Amino acid sequence: MLLLNATDRLALALLLNRFGLTLALTAPGEIIPGSYWGESEAGLKADRLYARLDTPLHSVLHEASHFICMTPERRVGLDRDAGGGDSEESAVCYLQVVLAAELPDVGPQRLFADMDAWGYSFRLGNTRAWFERDAEDARAWLVGHGVIDAAGRVTGAVRV
């Protein structure tokens, strides 16, 4: 599992900043504010994404994707629970893979493996198969909301 301490945190912070998110590091052993899952999992409060150095990168990207994909109304009162329905959750999972491609030495293949190891569950059995063969609806959702362009690249825009 790729942890935050083994990534280019500056590149990650700059990527998150493109979407109006600030990466806030929490001290080792401290509770992560806004964490839905607890333990070392990333947390969201307003426009801050909290993580520790032992937070898995896939968790950071997943929570960032929630922030990007949620409605502006939910974003304003955000504290721990991103909410959203099934279509949005699929878009979040797709987007975290797209975001991984934006980071040096990460990329989709690494994220697929980490998502599978964490326990993400998809109809086709693994993250890569879902992303490549069963995620057209998630991709269309992201394009429709202006989060990615027709070529699948992030636009830097959040859902409006």
pLDDT digit string (tens) for 117-141? 999 988 888 999 999 999 999 999 9
Over 90: is that where the pLDDT of 37 sits?
Answer: no
With a pLDDT cut of 90, the percent of the chain lying above it is 92
Half-sphere exposure of 44 (CA within 13 A, CB side): 27
59 Cβ contact list (under 8 Å, min separation 6)? 37, 40, 41, 42, 51, 118
Could you give phi then psi for residue 24, rounded to 5 degrees? -120, 115
The pLDDT tens digits of the residues spanning 48-84 come to 999 999 999 999 999 999 999 999 999 998 999 888 9
Of all residues in the chain, what percent carry a pLDDT higher than 70?
A: 100
Cβ-contact 80, 35 below 8 angstroms: yes
Q: How far apart are the first and last CA of the chain?
A: 33
Mean pLDDT computed over 78-94: 93
34/81 Cα distance (integer angstroms): 8
Q: Side chain identity at 148, as an amino acid letter?
A: I
Give the global pTM.
Answer: 0.96
4-24 residue pLDDT tens: 999 999 999 999 999 999 999
Mean pLDDT confidence for 77-104: 95
Burial of 85 per CB tally in 10 Å (0-12, 13-18, 19+)? exposed
